[in-house]
Amino acid sequence: MSRTRRLKERFLPKALVCGMLEDMGRVLFLKRKDKQGAEQLEMPCLLLYAGDPVSQLTEAFREQTGIDGEVGGIVLETRHNAGSRRRKSFVPCMVFRIRAKSMKARPASQFSGYRWLSLEDAKKEKLGRNARWVMAIR
């Protein structure tokens, strides 16, 4: 008797869109606690399935950080694994520059806090799944 595996139809996002708010060489990272209680750093971001990335990033950035920012141009383009460790499915990752008058963050309830770090210092920290693209920066 043969075993058949049902394939689940899974929709991959078109891209991962991140917002980078920079202040004097430091970048805003949000802290999230995982299941074991360890903190992981993430950037304000969203998985883009359809639509305009700029307007969706503006709304997501406001919801996640509490900062009313203006989305600028693309700072960096890389790729993000939207699949699993075993079945990798890479999608583009676009990092937009964010400009804001107020730099005071009020993170959403899903985050445990925030930190201002340089990208080099962030590479030494434990990064969340949507921020692992930072390791690819040279």
What was the pLDDT predicted at 5? 56
Domains by residue range for the chain, with CATH: 15-136 (3.90.79.10)
Is the pLDDT at 3 greater than 70, yes or no? Answer: no
pLDDT one-digit tens code per residue, 25-63: 999 999 999 888 889 999 999 999 988 999 999 999 999
In whole numbers, what is the pLDDT of the chain averaged over residues?
87
What is the pLDDT, as a whole number, of residue 43?
A: 92
Share of the chain above pLDDT 70, in %: 93
pLDDT value of residue 8: 57
Angle 112-32-131 (CA atoms, 0-180°, nearest 5)? 140
More confident residue, 64 or 37: 64
What is the pLDDT, as a whole number, of residue 35? 85
* Higher pLDDT pick, 136 / 109: 109
Q: Is the pLDDT of residue 9 over 60?
A: no
